[in-house]
Structure 1
Amino acid sequence: MIALRPRPLVSTFMHILPGAPLARALPAILLATSAWLFGCSREDSHVQVEEVRSGLHRDTTPGLSDDERTQFARGQADFAVDLYRTVGASADHANRNLFLSPVSLSTVLAMTYGGARGSTAEGMRKALRYELPDDRIHAAFDDLDLALSSRGQNVSGKDPFRLRVVNSAWAQKGMVFEAPFLDNLAVNYGTGVKVVDFKTATDASRRTINGWVDEQTEQRIPEVFPEGQLSADTRLALVNAVYFKAAWAEEFDARQTKSEPFMTLDGRTPTVSMMHGVFKTFYLDAEDYEAAALWYQGFEVQMLFVVPKPGKFETVESSLTGGKMLDVLGGLGRAALTLALPKFRLDDSFDLEAPLTAMGMGAAFSDAADFRGMAAESLKIGKVVQKTFVSVDEHHTEAAAASATGMEPVAYSPPPPPVTLTVDRPFLAAIVDTRTRSLVFFGRILDPSN
């Protein structure tokens, strides 16, 4: 049974290892995010799963003001671009395709931030680009999660719209948590803590967590924690998963898909499957790039493409900020777009300790970490991992790391001007929730053939 430790502190999600005296290395917290779709959780036959939950109910009306939502969206966009730039420049991912879920990562780190104190909290606040006061941050994530989970509720058809965000916490039995930690999980993230035995059944516990994520992501992420990544010292594993699958509001004509060359940054011209279609949509022609957005069914979520002009990819990427991404969204105008876009599919994993340390939250990974707001034990973050998947074809997009309100497309009268965009060179792509202006997924495609 998990014990409650009543202290007036905010709690968070994380994967934690056991505490230790100050003279020894602290146990680590492991954080996992998954970009994928979730179903119902299941119990693994190897481990009996018990859940401990606060008696408080989820706050389904967090009541953010328009100004708070604007501040939150700006900070989240800045975090998304900071993460993209830092991971994209790392040795493991330099000059490679890249697709991350900033929303998934920021959610699991927000749960962790609630238990941080002192310089640990200050570093996390800086890295995560929080602009709201602490007492409103978790309410903002609650608001975002509820908004995203409401998308596509009224969309029907053979390929229904799905966007889902799921959180879970897995703790060592007998671990003592601060009562506000469990309250925060329940009120703002809609979850409790599942109890397993990392100490004596490490691998069985790992398989249970992986099985839950596998089912929640419809078998897209079967192993968020590979063998050997958890240990007997693990105390808490925090997992956030996002899954998205939706059909285009206007599909590409599959009969027109054909093999065409794509010019990479190093001058190669691999052959890719290029889709073709004509869309009533949105377009922007800027000095260094072109941008376009395609609606998904329901008209609440778009895929945004930012296509640097020939020779301008490094210029656009190096000058990118969260504010500029939001400006691109705001600058799109109506157009009748003749679009050529390559099909692409990415499946990747990221160890994010080094990028997050570079972004300013190194204290959270050190033996000086201060997470007194979470549990009685001394803890530090041991690992932050994310697995993502995206597949784009003529009919739909599927992504994971997951019209609702009867919205309809803007009436196009008078007819918008015709434009042509051929995406035959490296580009940036984002899946955007237009109402919250959230970059649910964000990355770059340098070579669709790879």
Structure 2
Amino acid sequence: MSESARSGLQAFALALNKRLADDAARSNRNLIFSPVSVYAALSLVTAGARERTLSELLGVLGAVSRDDLAGSVRVLSEQALADQSQTGGPRVSFACALWHDRTTPLKPAYIDAAAKSYKAQTCSVDFHKKPGEAGKRMNAWVRASTNNLITEIIDPSQLCPQTDLVLANAIYFKGKWSQPFDEEYTEDGKFHRLDGSTVEVPFMQDDSRQRIACHRGFKVLQLNYEEGPQPRARYSMCVFLPNTRKGLPRLSEMIATDPDFVRKHLPTGTVEVGEFRLPKFKLNFSTGMNDVLPDLGIKEAFQEGKADFYDMLAEEDRPGRGLTLQEVLHKAIIEVNEEGTEAAAVTACRMQKVTCRVDKLPKRVDFVADHPFAFFVIEEVSSAILFAGHVLDPSRE
């Protein structure tokens, strides 16, 4: 992956993280989503766009061209997100797919690009007359691609009969800590929420050395996942813990200021640990992104009469005319416990024709995550952020 593409993906991930985190905080919800999944799904949409629609998508995704974008996703799928379960590393699955109505054929060049660069499978379905049946086929793919963690992305009974095309990405991750926590030491304790109230939740504890960095106003814990003898990728979870109980909003602002913020603030070594507590948590989150993406700069793709997806549909009369991005849906789930992490996410894009900143480390460091914090599951070689989220209340899914 080129340095510009790497920077573009990180910038997109942190901008989207900030926007979704603000929305989630207003309703006091925990947050979990996959920047990589959203990036891949929108990249697949971009492969069929042109003119101003293409420029907006490339700008938000941080790519200089469709080829640059396709190359980035290809590197992610073949290297950063390659499955390592057979050699002792994390189990990783990354898949793309697209379904088009049988009366709306796709251009051969677009199908070829989707297959070569995104390894996307293409399926012809009957959206117009049997939308429920088409929805069931898509959800079956979702279940298979996420090891049944996510059972559906679209409610078959509510799928619009005017739908012409749905493009999707799914990602699944299951990794064991390189140093698992002993369940015997897990104890309940108080977690302080942003509103000042507390809740009793199980905390994992440990007294061994940990990878922790102390910065002005916050600390960062990096937990590595088990890997094989010759890993092609290295995965870890990074917990960004503000020093104050109500410091997460401010920390979120800081993280969003620099596309390379996460990587720059990772620990560079291990330290002796004093008190160490990290809550177990299981989160699930789903959201529509029709209001979020325009705020980031993707506007024309949603606008009737302006969206230009000329390179997508195989129609004789001005291909792609009237085809617009109608809905972008995202769903994600994650569970963190003594053994490790299991997570999955799906992003679906529904389209139709509209004729419808480091301080000196002390000798011992405490890391007590008993108040809201942010976390990122990253692949260190590419710096790709697979999953991101905020834990406001670990007692709630």
Match of 1:165 in 2: 94
SS at match of 1:401: strand
Q: Which residue of 2 aligns with 1:113?
A: 46
* 1:430 paired to 2:365: no
Structure 2's unaligned 5+ residue stretches are 229-233, 314-318, 347-361
Pick aligned residue for 1:369 from 307, 313, 335: 307
Alignment of 1:167-186 (within 5 A): 167-186=96-115
Distance 1:145 1:93, change over 3 A: farther
Q: Secondary structure at the match of 2:386?
A: strand
Q: Please state how far the C-alpha of 1:139 moved relative to its aligned partner.
A: 0.9
CA displacement at 1:230 relative to structure 2: 1.9
Q: Structure 2 vs 1, CA of residues 433 and 91 (structure 1 numbering), >3 Å: closer, same or farther?
A: closer
Q: May I ask how many residue pairs the two structures share in their alignment?
A: 365
Structure 2 residue 32 is the aligned partner of structure 1 residue 86: no
Distance 1:93 1:223, change over 3 A: farther
Question: 278, 286, 291: which is aligned to 1:354?
Answer: 291
Would you say the 8 A contact 2:29–2:392 is kept in 1? yes
- Asked if residue 187 in structure 1 is aligned to residue 116 in structure 2, the reply is yes
Give the SS at the match of 1:104.
Answer: helix
Shift of 1:178: 2.1
CA spacing shift, 1:181–1:340, aligned 2, 3 Å:
same
Q: Secondary structure at the match of 1:262?
A: strand
Equivalent of residue 100 in structure 1, options 19, 25, 33: 33
Q: 1:92 to 1:370 in 2, by over 3 A?
A: farther
Q: CA deviation at 1:82?
A: 0.7
Q: Contact 1:250–1:279 (CA<8 Å) still a contact in 2?
A: no
Structure 1's unaligned 5+ residue stretches are: 1-63, 403-415
Q: 1:178 and 1:207, CA in 2 relative to 1: closer, same or farther beyond 3 A?
A: same
Q: Report the alpha carbon displacement of residue 202 of structure 1 after superposing the two structures with TM.
A: 1.0
Deviates more, 1:438-447 or 1:115-124: 115-124
- Deviation above 3 Å: which 4+ runs of structure 1? 91-95, 153-156, 278-281
What whole-Å deviation, never above 9, does each CA across 1:48-78 have from its counterpart, x for those lacking one?
xxxxxxxxxxxxxxxx5xxx1x222221111
Alpha-carbon separation, structure 2, partners of 1:282 and 1:87: 28
Provide the residue aligned with 2:236 in structure 1.
302
SS of structure 1 residue aligned to 2:45? helix
Write the deviation string for residues 178-220 of structure 1: whole angstroms up to 9, x where unpaired: 2221121111111231111111111011111111211221221
Aligned-partner SS, 1:353? coil
- Is 1:283 the equivalent of 2:212? yes
Instruction: Give the deviation of 1:323 after TM superposition.
Output: 2.1
What are the within-5 Å matches in structure 2 for residues 32-431 of structure 1? 64=1, 68=2, 70-90=3-23, 94-130=27-63, 132-156=64-88, 161-298=90-227, 300-310=234-244, 311-321=246-256, 322-329=259-266, 331-337=267-273, 339-367=276-304, 368-375=306-313, 376-378=319-321, 379-401=323-345, 418-431=364-377
User: Which whole-Å CA distance do the structure 2 matches of 1:91 and 1:326 have between them?
Assistant: 24
Counterpart pick for 1:443 among 377, 389, 393: 389
SS in 2 for 1:90: helix
Give the letter aligned to residue 313 of structure 1: L
What is the rounded CA distance, in whole Å, between the counterparts of 2:261 and 2:28 in structure 1? 22
Q: Which has the higher contact order (CA 8 A, sep 6+)?
A: 1
Q: Secondary structure at the match of 2:180?
A: coil
Name the CA shift for 1:283/1:151 in 2 (closer, same or farther; >3 Å).
Answer: farther
CA distance in 2, matches of 1:184, 1:140: 14
The residue type equivalent to 1:372 in the other structure is: Y
Q: Is the 8 A contact 2:133 2:156 kept in 1?
A: no
Q: Structure 2: how far apart are the matches of 1:369 and 1:279? A: 55
User: Partners of 2:25 and 2:166 in 1: how far apart?
Assistant: 25
- Matched to 2:236, the amino acid is Q
SS in 2 for 1:164: strand
- What is the percent sequence identity of the aligned residues? 27
Q: Residues 110 and 311 of structure 2 are in contact (CA less than 8 Å); yes or no, is this contact kept in structure 1?
A: yes
Alignment partner, residue 58 of structure 1: none
Between the aligned partners of 2:331 and 2:142, the Cα distance in structure 1 is 11
TM-score by length of 1: 0.77
Q: CA RMSD in A?
A: 2.0
Cα separation, 2, equivalents of 1:352 and 1:222: 20
Q: Residues 209-251 of structure 1: CA distance to partner in whole angstroms, max 9, x if unpaired?
A: 1112112212211111013442221111111100011111111
* Kept in 1: contact 2:193–2:372 (CA 8 A): yes
Once residues 345 and 263 of structure 2 are traced to their aligned partners in structure 1, the CA distance between those partners, rounded to angstroms, is 22
